[in-house]
Chains A and B, each alone.
Chain A
Amino acid sequence: MNVLNFMWANRSDVWHLTLEHIVMVAIAILLATAIGIPLGIFMTRNRRLSRPILAVANIVQTIPSLALFGFLIPIPFIGGIGGRTAVVALTLYSLLPIIRNTFTGISGVDPAIREAGRGMGMTDGQLLWKVEIPLSLGIIFAGIRVATVIAIGVATIAAAVGAGGLGMFIFRGVSMVDGRVILAGAIPAALLALAADFGLGAIEKRFSKLLGVLLICVLVCSCSNADRIIVGSKNFTEQVILGELLAQQIEAKTGLQVDRRLNLGGTLVCHEALTAGQIDAYVEYTGTGLTAILKEPVATDSSSAYDKVRTAYLSRYGVEWTEPLGFNNTFAMIIRKEDAQKLNVRTISDAVPYTSGWTAGFGYEFIEREDGYPGLVKAYGLRFPRSPRIMDLGLTYKAVAERQVDFIAGNSTDGLIDALGLIVLEDDKHYFPPYDAAPLLRTAVAQKHPEVRQAFKDLGGKISAEDMRRMNYAVDGNHRDVKEVVREFLATKNK
């Protein structure tokens, strides 16, 4: 079967991510147990507080998991990118079933038994340890089981904040629209949940011993983090490819170990993670750095944009913009290659005389943005006979290939451009701001590991827009493995 083949081919990843998943959930459940059981017991002793505590735990439970992860990112100490945030979020989710079952379990102990115990002179502690906890252990344990199964599910979302785990496959699969990759994450997660439920049921019978063993395993696993370079990426295909590319380049050129924190939630998440030192490197685009991070107006010129972000990042964040990779991922005006050849059109200016006979098809965002269609029309004096057809961005490619429209706006590195026989018109008036891609590296890392800095320098100018389109298409269109695509690319470039 396809999925099984894929999982077998990536077995070391599957194994590694499963392990990450287990460690994350195990730590969270241990924490939630350590907090939840005492809290549940406390509530049986202070019944007036039981309602508010349960209410809070209930509310936490209802926060959508992705939102909870989002809330935690900016919080110092417990938040940020990576495992810690995930563990905190999972712990919060796991609290409710554990607290509630501890409380109801102990409250449910036959009052006659409690009265007999007290009447015979048991202290509150003796009553708790010798009678109430042993009698409610089954219910308390059921709470831990429920919490564990929930946590295994929720932990798949932790990949969005760079905590790894089986969610990595799921997110990657969703962005690649590849069911095999999604299932490679979903199947082990489901099996893990079943195994945990079954395993905890078995532990219930020999409570203390096995829990001790589990605890030791978790500690051993979580303590194995040496001097590694951590590479991040945003959560779309091109970024994942570039993250993988940085990682393989470092591995090949320096021999250092690399942790991949790919598929992070977006620009801001990556930026926060980088400045907080939770990742060491990721690929950013000059236009994005300028507008989204530095909040400055767009630049029209490639080199001035690069100089601006480079200077500002160095002084403000201690982050270096290393050599640009060589391609510019900006808005691209796209027509069919055959039209371009027939009419001898290379630039947008060349195309202006012909637009009166063409139909345009644009995505909603491009029509609306001030720096999109309205500005473009003004800058080049475009004249379309009909107002552009508005359609889903993904459909515009299909539409132009099938001759329903003749002129579309996409991104210059979209893999479909070459695959569908289309061509990008050169923006000869430099209307669109430059979005040149370049790896960012923390200067602290660059100083400590100059060989990493050198490895990035070697990548400078190596990736053309066409290279990027080909790799994007290999992953999105041909459903090939990111690692393989990157490996082949580096092999041709590093000859």
Chain B
Amino acid sequence: MNAIVEFRGVTYAINGRPILNDISFTIAPGESVVFLGRSGSGKTTTLKLINRLIEPSSGAVFVEGKNAKDWDPIQLRRRIGYVIQEIGLFPHFTVERNVGLVPSLQAWPDQTIHTRVQEMLRLVGLDPQRFAERLPRELSGGQRQRVGVARALAADPAILLLDEPFGALDPVTRAEVQREFRDLRKRLGKTMVFVTHDVREAFILGDRIGLMKDGELIALVPASDFEKLDHAEAKAFSQSIA
């Protein structure tokens, strides 16, 4: 299998205290993997290791077959879309500049950026005419989250990292955005690594689900097999839907 993301025995520790313990897995191109776990289980850390916001204490992370250490971190991050729960839209940038951020960092021609931004906004269901010139504070929570996704997609990255992106939305909007996002992903065929503590969300969005607890990757199984897992943590999550 030709993995686009691979962890080989990755451990990450802060001041000798392990946050992640000997994690290994591979993700195939175009695949959607959801890491599911409670707060502090190490799922966000796993995500940050992929775009080199942090470096493994031991073991290695490979992205597109190349050790992350050998990637220029700036170039690596620009090839990977990144969405976080707080979204982190720049409050002093308009929607258009926020979405066009990575393309402009990559020095695309202005006209190309403009066209691309329009396209991205339409893709996430926002009318460019109405929204392009707004500032983030003039948007609702759901609209902001869509802008965040559009921004992550703007430079056409092969990989998309999403850290509980819909966590702060109200349940109705969240369900709507989750459905839209699932359809979007299928159309675009991006590789996606998604982090959540919401088992429902994991089922909607994940081809495979990785269950994490206390820095360990307990299992990484196809979504359909998740409920068959014989592990207390898996059962706890499965029961939380019922």
Judge whether B226 is part of the interface by a CB distance below 8 angstroms: no
User: Count the A residues whose beta carbon is within 8 Å of the partner chain — how many?
Assistant: 18
Judge whether B17 is part of the interface by a CB distance below 8 angstroms: no
In whole Å, how far is B241's beta carbon from the nearest beta carbon of chain A? 29
Contact A115 B105 (CB under 8 A): no
C-alpha gap A122/B82 in the complex (Å): 12
In whole Å, how far is A206's beta carbon from the nearest beta carbon of chain B? 16
Contact A120 B84 (CB under 8 A): no
Contact A120 B90 (CB under 8 A): no
Contact A112 B88 (CB under 8 A): yes
- The secondary-structure label for the interface of chain B is mixed
Contact A121 B86 (CB under 8 A): no
Q: Which residues of B contact A110 (CB under 8 A)?
A: 86, 88
Contact B102 A120 (CB under 8 A): yes
Q: Which residues of A contact B77 (CB under 8 A)?
A: 118-121
A121 contact from B76, B84, B89, Cβ within 8 A: B76
Q: Which residues of A contact B13 (CB under 8 A)?
A: none
C-alpha gap A113/B87 in the complex (Å): 8
In whole Å, how far is A113's beta carbon from the nearest beta carbon of chain B? 5
Contact A116 B89 (CB under 8 A): yes
Contact A120 B87 (CB under 8 A): no
Knowing A121-B74, A134-B92, the reply to whether A116 touches B53 (Cβ < 8 A) is: no
User: Count the B residues whose beta carbon is within 8 Å of the partner chain — how many?
Assistant: 23
The proximity string for B residues 56-77 relative to A, scoring 1 for CB distances below 8 Å and 0 otherwise, is 0000000000000000001111
Contact B75 A112 (CB under 8 A): no
Judge whether A315 is part of the interface by a CB distance below 8 angstroms: no
Judge whether A131 is part of the interface by a CB distance below 8 angstroms: yes
B151 to chain A: closest residue by CB = A120
C-alpha gap A407/B180 in the complex (Å): 105
The proximity string for A residues 85-124 relative to B, scoring 1 for CB distances below 8 Å and 0 otherwise, is 0000000000000000000000000101111111111110
> Which A12-46 residues have C-beta < 8 A from chain B?
none
Q: Which residues of B contact A113 (CB under 8 A)?
A: 88-91
Judge whether B134 is part of the interface by a CB distance below 8 angstroms: no
Q: Which residues of A contact B102 (CB under 8 A)?
A: 120-121
Judge whether B101 is part of the interface by a CB distance below 8 angstroms: yes
Contact B86 A112 (CB under 8 A): yes
Judge whether A356 is part of the interface by a CB distance below 8 angstroms: no
Judge whether A126 is part of the interface by a CB distance below 8 angstroms: yes
Judge whether A399 is part of the interface by a CB distance below 8 angstroms: no
Judge whether B51 is part of the interface by a CB distance below 8 angstroms: yes
A113 to chain B: closest residue by CB = B88
Q: Which residues of A contact B75 (CB under 8 A)?
A: 121
Knowing A118-B77, A119-B51, A135-B91, the reply to whether A112 touches B105 (Cβ < 8 A) is: no
Q: Which residues of A contact B76 (CB under 8 A)?
A: 121
- The secondary-structure label for the interface of chain A is helix
Contact A119 B92 (CB under 8 A): no
Contact A117 B51 (CB under 8 A): no
Contact A115 B88 (CB under 8 A): yes
**Which of A118, A121, A134 has the largest count of B CB atoms less than 10 A from its CB?**
A121
A137 to chain B: closest residue by CB = B92
In whole Å, how far is B7's beta carbon from the nearest beta carbon of chain A? 19
Contact B101 A120 (CB under 8 A): yes
A131 to chain B: closest residue by CB = B90
Q: Which residues of A contact B161 (CB under 8 A)?
A: 119
In whole Å, how far is A130's beta carbon from the nearest beta carbon of chain B? 8
B75 to chain A: closest residue by CB = A121
The proximity string for A residues 238-264 relative to B, scoring 1 for CB distances below 8 Å and 0 otherwise, is 000000000000000000000000000
B82 contact from A120, A126, A131, A135, Cβ within 8 A: A120
A118 to chain B: closest residue by CB = B53
B77 to chain A: closest residue by CB = A121
A116 contact from B74, B87, B92, Cβ within 8 A: B87
Contact B86 A126 (CB under 8 A): no
C-alpha gap A112/B90 in the complex (Å): 10
Contact A123 B89 (CB under 8 A): no
In whole Å, how far is B42's beta carbon from the nearest beta carbon of chain A? 17
Judge whether B185 is part of the interface by a CB distance below 8 angstroms: no
Q: Which residues of A contact B152 (CB under 8 A)?
A: 120
Judge whether B174 is part of the interface by a CB distance below 8 angstroms: no
B84 contact from A115, A123, A126, A134, Cβ within 8 A: A115
C-alpha gap A400/B102 in the complex (Å): 88
The proximity string for B residues 76-120 relative to A, scoring 1 for CB distances below 8 Å and 0 otherwise, is 111100101011111110000000011001000000000000000
C-alpha gap A232/B228 in the complex (Å): 96
C-alpha gap A118/B91 in the complex (Å): 16
In whole Å, how far is A471's beta carbon from the nearest beta carbon of chain B? 64
In whole Å, how far is B242's beta carbon from the nearest beta carbon of chain A? 34
The proximity string for A residues 189-216 relative to B, scoring 1 for CB distances below 8 Å and 0 otherwise, is 0000000000000000000000000000
In whole Å, how far is A416's beta carbon from the nearest beta carbon of chain B? 67
Contact A121 B105 (CB under 8 A): yes
A135 contact from B84, B92, B101, B151, Cβ within 8 A: B92
Contact B88 A117 (CB under 8 A): yes
Residues of chain B touching chain A, judged by Cβ–Cβ distance below 8 Å, are 51, 53, 74-79, 82, 84, 86-92, 101-102, 105, 151-152, 161
Apart from A115-B84, A116-B82, A120-B152, what are 6 other A-B pairs with CB-CB below 8 Å? A115-B88, A117-B90, A119-B51, A119-B88, A120-B77, A134-B92
Q: Which 5 A-B pairs have the closest CB atoms?
A: A116-B88, A112-B86, A121-B77, A121-B78, A119-B82
Residues of chain A touching chain B, judged by Cβ–Cβ distance below 8 Å, are 110, 112-123, 126, 130-131, 134-135
Provide 10 A-B residue pairs closer than 8 Å at the C-beta atoms, listed in order of the A residue. A112-B86, A119-B88, A120-B82, A120-B101, A120-B152, A122-B74, A122-B105, A126-B105, A131-B90, A135-B91
